[in-house]
Amino acid sequence: MPNEIDVDTWEAFEDRLNEFRNHRTTNEPSAPALHFRGHANSRWSLSTTLERNKKPAMLFKDYYRAISVLRPEIETFTSTQWAIPTYPEVEKLVQDYDPFSLALTFGPHPAYDYMIYLRHHGFPSPLLDWTRSVHVAAYFAFNNAGESGAVSIYVLLEGKFKSGSNGVPSIHRMGPYVKTHRRHFLQQSDYTMCLVFGSDSQWRFAEHDRVLTCNNVHGDIWWNYDLMKFNIPVGERLKVLKLLDEHNLNAFSLFGSEESLMETMSLRKLHFQN
């Protein structure tokens, strides 16, 4: 399980995170980078939108076939084109363990730019999105929070992104260096996929939550965890969103659409000023 820490205020969370960062700087000068993910409800699990669409163990090749078939129609309406491998090429790549495992670890990742575009526009995705900015994670945690309870911010060491072995589900970090939709860069995004090569000699998606929350601890001190989960009261919502907006981190700066502009202006005029 992740090391779960309850704090009373946003400032208390910042203090604990700074404590963790200072410890790492002192003891591990070359420690892996941190990645963050914000949840509007502390009860939510670490699950992809594909998992939430009841497809947690879908074959990679079946998912690739689906998005390949959709590509011409999406290109027509978006005036964008993606140079992605054909389905037969990917079907051949995933037939054996080693070739696809190497591609996941070192690249190239098949249709990665296209999959990111689909993820940012609501198509069910096997990508679990993270951000390199704790403040971006805080925005996503607090912006859609409910009236009570707590939000969560996950803190993950980059070193946790690692390949497993044949038959063992593993997390693969896809990386930030890709030409894709502008939201990827505005949100300082990074992504992981969880896959397993099963006894049926098929690559299929697996559940992030089962891998990331298992065998996570490397000691008995809270900062020795690979994955930490901070729970912050929902009552801090407007304070945190106002602080973020003062640094120009809001719906409009993260999405850049007219709808996000209206959302940002409504918070400023109807809530922050009061």
pLDDT tens for 17-48 read 998 888 777 767 666 789 999 999 999 999 99
Three-state DSSP class for residue 231: strand
Range name among 160-164, 202-206, 208-212 with the lowest pLDDT average? 160-164
**Mean pLDDT (whole number) for 196-222:** 74
Strands 128-131 and 227-233: unpaired
pLDDT tens for 76-109 read 998 889 999 999 999 998 988 888 888 888 878 8
Q: Work out the percent of the chain whose per-residue pLDDT is above 90.
A: 56
Cβ atoms within 10 A of the Cβ of 213, count?
16
246 touches 33 (CB < 8 A): no
CA-closest candidate to residue 39, choices 130, 127, 124: 130
pLDDT tens for 106-158 read 878 899 999 999 998 899 999 999 999 999 999 999 998 988 899 999 998 87
131 touches 137 (CB < 8 A): yes
Query: pLDDT at position 162, please?
Result: 54
pLDDT tens for 174-195 read 888 888 888 889 999 999 999 9
118-to-50, 112, 144, 181, 250 alpha-carbon distances in Å: 12, 10, 21, 9, 22
d(CA 20, CA 25): 9
Question: How buried is 204 (Cβ within 10 angstroms: 0-12 exposed, 13-18 middle, 19+ buried)?
Answer: buried
pLDDT category at 239 given cuts 50, 70, 90 is very high
